[in-house]
Structure 1
Amino acid sequence: MGEGTAGTVRCELLGPLRALRDGAEIPLGPPKQRAVLAVLLLQEGRTLSYDGLVEAVWGGAPPVHVRNLVQKYVSGLRRALGDGVLLEWTGTGYRLTGAVIGDLADRRLLVDEALAARDTGEVRRAVELARRAEELWRGDFAEGLRAPWLAAERLRWAEKRLTVLEARLEGEIALGRSFEYVHELVRLVATHPLRERLAELLMLALCRLGRPSDALSAYEGTRQRLAEAMGADPGPALRSLHARVLRQDPELLPSPSPVVPVG
């Protein structure tokens, strides 16, 4: 995706926060100053009250001299970001304009295009677009910045990231690529042991590889983990797939290899 017009400050949050002007990275100062910037960027041009900023960055127990710290960090950001970026006090709060969160905008465009392609049956294009959206990630959301509001955003974006990954892997399986991705699914299920959609995709990939007994074992492992951690049974989608595996649903079987005539 593009860097934007010349002189525009492009910020990125799909990993450690960074800001770039004409491709050159801008030093953003100490961690709390960077956290202030991240919080203000995510307002997308809306005004954030002083109390709201303090709560977002420090939580319910800010340091005694927090007002001085806010003023210090705002001044530091104004110097760092330079001309073309306006960080102003509006009378009711702080507002940041003139800086774009480039990677979030790029991701939103790619995901929207992937969804549109999926809805029109263009599975291969949808998978490629979803892969490009994943490649924008450089780490966790706003990685390394400690602030209560950013911690909550980090969880929200981790969920969004996983949802897109699941959609891509579903497409990969539909394209006949179970062999290439079954090991990734095994790793993801181990990393997210209570996430039923990943277990479902792993079971589907195993069935496509002619391994229904392994698919049943994957189901049983997920069922046991859910029972132990939450006292719950798998949801309807996973139970339905389990039933289809048990009755050897032909749609779950590997596609037959083409017969090559001899002679």
Structure 2
Amino acid sequence: MGVPTSGGSAVHGLRFELLGPLRALRDGAEIPLGPPRQRAVLAVLLLQEGRPMSYGSLVEAVWGGTPPAHVRNLVQKYVSGLRRALADDGPQLVWTGSGYRLGGTVVADLRERRRLVDEALAARAAGQLSRARDLARQAEELWRGEFAEGLRSPYLEAERLRWAEKRLTVLEERLAGEIELGHAFEYVHELVRLVAAHPLRERFVELLMLALCRTGRPADALAAYEAARQRLSEAMGADPGPVLRDLHTRVLRQDATLLPPPAVLPVH
């Protein structure tokens, strides 16, 4: 398979996606990839980006340290099934002598996300906050569910955690941009929900406090800090980190940079 064009299509008409359930689209139509373990084998090989993976490493990645006794037969069966499923589109799943290699492929949504995030970071560094916000939102919209959703394997479960962190980091940066652009009021409720869903994640507490201050609610910002301090103490025996503590001090001192912008009086 060739490299996707900028629109995400592929030269041979096959597009792989992993930001959600694994799927392969041939000219826009999803193709069957077989049973869950076979799909897990494909997902693991796709993530090697064309590098060979030894038989032992593949078995450990898909089944962990206690594979079934007939695992060699299963690997051969799943590799044959994938070769049949992908045969019309150019990707080559071969045994190199040292491992299995899936060549001529790219995971389109991962590559598109990487490009969007890189462009968002560059736009933010250049002070183009609206463009950075829009690019980050486009990166978020590529997600269709959890990473490789529904596939069970030690390797993919570790990758799922790593990509969940990446997803939250981009969300945090987009929300920070929204607050900087003066949209704090619209995002207070979303931040309250995110703090409840991730109670030990200090960045969401920081953003909630900023949004509350920017909407004229410093007392609520202090309450949000105190609630976070208690959660951290009970769960980890720790105090909030320096960023959150510094923000708390600034709120107590009524730092003018945290206050809502002055109202603009209408001209008569």
TM-score if structure 2 supplies the norm length? Answer: 0.96
The answer to whether the Cα contact below 8 Å between 1:9 and 1:100 also exists between their aligned partners in 2 is: no
Using the alignment, how far apart are the partners of 1:108 and 1:92 within structure 2?
A: 30
Which residue matches 2:12?
7
Cα distance in structure 1, aligned partners of 2:121 and 2:9: 25
Letter in 1 for 2:207: L
Residues 8 and 112 in structure 2, CA contact (< 8 A), matched pair in contact too: no
Counterpart-to-counterpart distance in 2, 1:3 and 1:132: 14
Matched, 1:218 2:252: no
Counterpart CA distance in 1 for 2:75 and 2:158 is 21
Q: Quote the residue 2:55 is aligned against.
A: 50
**Candidates 30, 36, 43, aligned match of 1:38:** 43
Q: Any idea what the Cα deviations from partners look like across 1:192-244, whole Å, max 9, x if unmatched?
A: 00000110000000000000010001001110000000000000000000000
2:165 corresponds to which of 159, 171, 184: 159
Q: Give the Å deviation of 1:111.
A: 0.3
| 8 A Cα contact 2:43 2:148, kept in partner | yes
Amino acid at match of 1:72: K
Alignment partner of 1:64 out of 53, 61, 69:
69
1:129 counterpart = 2:160: no
Alignment partner of 1:112 is 2:118: yes
Aligned equivalents of 1:132 and 1:23: distance in 2? 20
Supply the AA of the counterpart residue of 1:184: E
Alignment-derived partner of residue 172 in structure 1: 178
- The answer for the alignment partner of 1:77 in structure 2 is 82
In structure 1, runs of 5+ residues without a counterpart are: none
Partner of 1:143: 149
Change (3 A) 1:4 1:261: closer
> For 2:44 and 2:23, how far apart are their aligned partners in 1?
13
Equivalent residue number for residue 260 of structure 1:
266
Checking the alignment, whether the CA contact within 8 Å between 1:130 and 1:168 is kept in structure 2 is yes
- Counterpart of 1:23 (choices 18, 21, 28) is 28
Select 1:193's aligned residue among 199, 217, 233: 199
Write out the 4+ residue segments of structure 1 that deviate beyond 3 Å after TM superposition: none
Alpha-carbon distance between aligned partners in 2 of 1:186 and 1:54, rounded to the nearest angstrom? 43
RMSD, aligned α-carbons: 0.9
Tell me the CA shift for residue 29 of structure 1: 0.5
- Give, in angstroms, the shift of residue 99 of structure 1: 2.3
Q: Is the counterpart of residue 236 in structure 1 residue 235 in structure 2?
A: no
On the 8 A contact 1:11/1:19 being kept in 2, the answer is yes
Deviation (angstroms), 1:187: 0.5
TM-score normalised by the chain length of structure 1 = 0.98
- Of residues 142-151 and 5-14 in structure 1, the stretch that sits farther from structure 2 once superposed is 5-14
Partners of 2:267 and 2:14 lie apart in 1 by: 62
* Secondary structure, counterpart of 1:82 in structure 2: helix
Offset of residue 247 of structure 1: 0.5
How far apart are the structure 1 equivalents of 2:95 and 2:11?
A: 26
Please give the alpha-carbon distance, in whole angstroms, between the structure 2 residues aligned to 1:202 and 1:254. Answer: 14
Aligned to 1:87: 93
Q: CA deviation at 1:6?
A: 3.9
For residues 126 and 3 of structure 1, the distance between their equivalents in structure 2, rounded to whole angstroms, comes to 21
In the TM superposition, residue 85 of structure 1 has moved relative to its aligned partner by: 1.0
Whole-angstrom distance in 2 between the partners of 1:86 and 1:163: 35
